[in-house]
Structure 1
Amino acid sequence: MAHTGSATVTRIVELELVRLRTPARRGSGAAGSVLVRVADSEGVSGWGELPRATRSQWEALSDAYAPALLRHSWSRPTEACEAWADLPWDPAAAAALDCACWDLWSRRRGMPLAHALGGRRTALTAGVTLPRQRTVESLVTEVNRQVGAGFRRVRLEIGPGWDTDAVRAVQTSFPFLVLQVDAGGRYSESPAHLEALRALDSLGLLAVEDPFPPDDLAAYARLAAELRTPVALGRPLESVEDLAEAIRLEAGGAVNVDVSRLGGLTPARRAVDRAVDAGWQVWCGSSAATGVGRAATVALASLSGASLPVEVPGAGNRGSDLAVPPVRAHDGVVPVPLAENGLGHGVDRTALAGHTAQALLVDSSGSRELRSGRKHR
């Protein structure tokens, strides 16, 4: 059970939003992430992340969610979400503020975030996701790099025409590697697609994730009843209520709990408990682009119910972490930072300044200061 007992009232008096530059390699159509910092009257701060924020999400966060939180008082971080209960639901915007409030609260309480959430594990097995490669040979080469870095579970992105042959090639080269696949909703219930999914069932995978579009839980249930391999859900779940409905329909047997997708640590923690109670397997994935969001995922994954490997960047990932120390796996293991309070990671302000496209500072009086980031030289 999480340690959330405290009658001390918290009021956020300052809120900073930092929109990050989009890495050039992701293309002009991509969106940069937003880091969120909340501070109380004692000067204690907490951080959260909104990954790959669209313009509408930036506006929702700056014009609605942030002002609502500045007007709201709360005693426990589980109550912070009441501030935006009446706003149009944006789980990623809510998650950024929810995580920042948990970070602030646990720092002020003098405890690691993992312990505040109820986690007890000190180290986590790491998993890595590999996108589709140009050839099967290049996929095997990339898997070899990740195995050499100590990763014990590899999640392969698949789609029609890139599924069984790719998985078999990896299994042939690495027969003891734990594999699962993420279909990204790319399949339908057409005969050819179902035949491919049935072929995957014979390969001893940990899970087949998101085979169908997110809005077709009935198709998930039909497939789950047929396969021995657990069907995992990630993208169809934007709330604990979505998970409850999937469980009721017996639409799977495993769940990817993503803090940003579910709306924050508060609902994500409930989702872990709900899935475990239903006998589902759980792992904590992450859509975070920086170490701020990943640190929150690691804290959540310290819960005993999240028993499958936690998702972290793989070997060769060149993304900017911005967290100090970086949130990384070492020989396939992710340490849970228990020697520091809150997230257990700071934010490198110098590096952050170089990645900032725009920053907005809002305080409880309603004052707003908008700044542009430094231009690259």
Structure 2
Amino acid sequence: MIIDSLTVRDLALPLVAPFTTSFGTQTRRVTYLVHVTGTVQTAAGRVRTAGWGECVSLADPLYSSEYLAGAREVTERHLVPLLQHAQREGTEITAETVASVLAPVVGHPMAKAALEMAVLDAQLRAHGVSLAQYFGATRTHVPSGVSVGIQDSIDDLLRAVGGYLDAGYVRIKLKIQPGWDLEPVAAVRRAFGDDVPLQVDANAAYTLVDARQLRRLDDYGLLLIEQPLGEDDLVQHATLARQMSTPICLDESIASAKDAADAITLGAASVINIKPGRVGGYLEARRIHDLARAHGIAVWCGGMLETGLGRAANAALAALDGFTLPGDISASDRFYTRDITEPFVLENGTIAVPTGPGLGVEPVPEMLDEHAGLVQELWAA
């Protein structure tokens, strides 16, 4: 792709309800979108095209070291200039070359992923190919699970879980933390039975000192416990995995295919939650999928409260055969009264995989006008 413009657009969407995890509470989704335009060489000649990307970084460095203002700054001061320099030197920017062009900048995978996503969307739109086709996905719908944040009371939790089950979600994930773990899990099992696919997510809230408490979760027939220990604690996760019958799933610990390989080798995880933004983009996410599948490790696609843009891309990724567990690709109304794209809806417990070129969805202009903030042009022809 020969890029001739790149803009970033701040965005703030209110959530339908506060979402609380072990590291904080969100009441709105604050992010930025990347929009690129340019031309792509196709069999029919050079075609003008455009694409969208979404940064999934949180406002504060709580989930990872990345935070939104930092992602925005590194994009402006370092990442876009690298792309511009590469293009001036004769490199045609493609989704497959973005990672190598940006490699001199250490870290910042979410900022890099947003740029790769925009280029990939534009590239595929020019060729008339959907993201699912590009990945080699075979499914038209993906099973939809829902993530339930930490609630003010057990009664509130049971009402929330009951509502999601009534809506048709096929898997429930409970956020947990010290002091909010055994009791909510036990209450959900009592209220809804042992047949409900149930898992928990600690977001690195525990240490190996808490192993005895975590082992008590084995009594509840959970699909998995996600990221119980710190993101750097692969050896400790391997130790915990040997002490528990509940499968250990890693999230924050997996920032690349190399991290996934290390975790598999150590026995630190029997399940991996793949979040494309966390690992630097959808191409690296697919590599992790391929690696895990080759080693018999289950994977599923996590969520970062994405708008319809990221939701579309996640659905396409989760349609790959190796994604054997329901992901966090929920309907748009799980988080937003109105999404910035046409809404994703739950259909018999599944989300449809978009079939249009690229992401298969685009922002609704009036939603951008209503919720967008600063629009900054970082690259102009």
Q: Deviations over 1:92-144 (max 9, x none)?
A: 00110111122111111111111111111110100100011111121111100
> Could you tell me how far apart the structure 2 residues matched to 1:179 and 1:46 are?
37
CA distance in 1, matches of 2:131, 2:26: 36
Counterpart check, 1:38 vs 2:55 = no
The match for 2:3 is 12
The one-letter amino acid of 2:156's match is: S
State yes or no: 1:67 paired with 2:85. Answer: no
1:217 and 2:234 matched: yes
Name the CA distance, whole Å, in 1 between partners of 2:165 and 2:38.
44
2:187 partner letter: A
**Counterpart for residue 254 of structure 1:** 271
Give the alignment partner of residue 321 of structure 1, picking from 339, 357, 365. Answer: 339
Report whether the alignment pairs 1:334 with 2:351.
yes
Residues 173 and 31 (structure 1), Cα distance of their counterparts in 2 relative to 1, 3 Å cut = closer
Seen in structure 2, the aligned counterparts of structure 1 residues 89 and 215 have a Cα distance that, compared at 3 Å, is: same
TM-score, structure 1 normalization: 0.88
* SS of match in other structure, 2:48: coil
Deviation at 1:162, TM superposition (A): 1.2
Structure 2 counterpart of 1:50, which letter? C
CA separation of 1:359 and 1:209: change in aligned 2, threshold 3 A:
same
**Paired-residue identity, %:** 33
Residue 45 of structure 1 aligns with an amino acid whose one-letter code is A
1:272 Cα shift? 0.7
Residue 273 to residue 28, structure 1, CA distance change in 2 (3 Å): closer
State the TM-score, normalizing by the size of structure 2: 0.87
Distance in 1, matches of 2:26 and 2:226, equals 29
Give 2:70's aligned residue: 56
Task: Give 1:209 shift.
Answer: 0.4
Q: CA deviation digits over 1:252-276, x for unaligned, max 9?
A: 1001000110000010000111111
Q: Does 1:197 align with 2:202?
A: no
Query: Do the aligned partners of 1:106 and 1:341 also contact (CA within 8 Å) in 2?
Result: yes
Question: Can you list the C-alpha shifts for 1:47-70, whole angstroms capped at 9, x where unaligned?
Answer: 110023522211111222123223
Residue 239 (structure 1) aligned with residue 230 (structure 2)? no
Q: How does 1:166-181 map to 2 (within 5 A)?
A: 166-175=184-193, 176-181=195-200
Partner of 1:7: none
> Does the 8 Å CA contact 2:138/2:320 hold for their aligned counterparts?
yes
- When structure 1 is superposed on structure 2, of 254-263 and 347-356 the one drifting more is 347-356
Count of aligned positions:
352
Q: Secondary structure at the match of 2:119?
A: helix
**1-side partners of 2:96 and 2:144: how far apart?**
28
Q: Distance in 1 between matches of 2:344 and 2:114?
A: 18
Kindly report the root-mean-square deviation, in angstroms, between the aligned alpha carbons of the 2 structures: 2.1
Deviation at 1:151, TM superposition (A): 0.3
1:358 aligns with 2:374: yes
Q: Which of residues 316, 338, 350 is equivalent to 1:299?
A: 316
Report the Cα offset of residue 313 of structure 1: 3.8
Partner of 1:120: 138
Please tell me whether the aligned partners of residues 314 and 329 of structure 2 are also in contact (alpha carbons under 8 angstroms): no
Does the 8 Å CA contact 1:15/1:38 hold for their aligned counterparts?
yes
2:144 aligned counterpart, secondary structure: strand
Give distance in 1, aligned partners of 2:247 and 2:77: 42
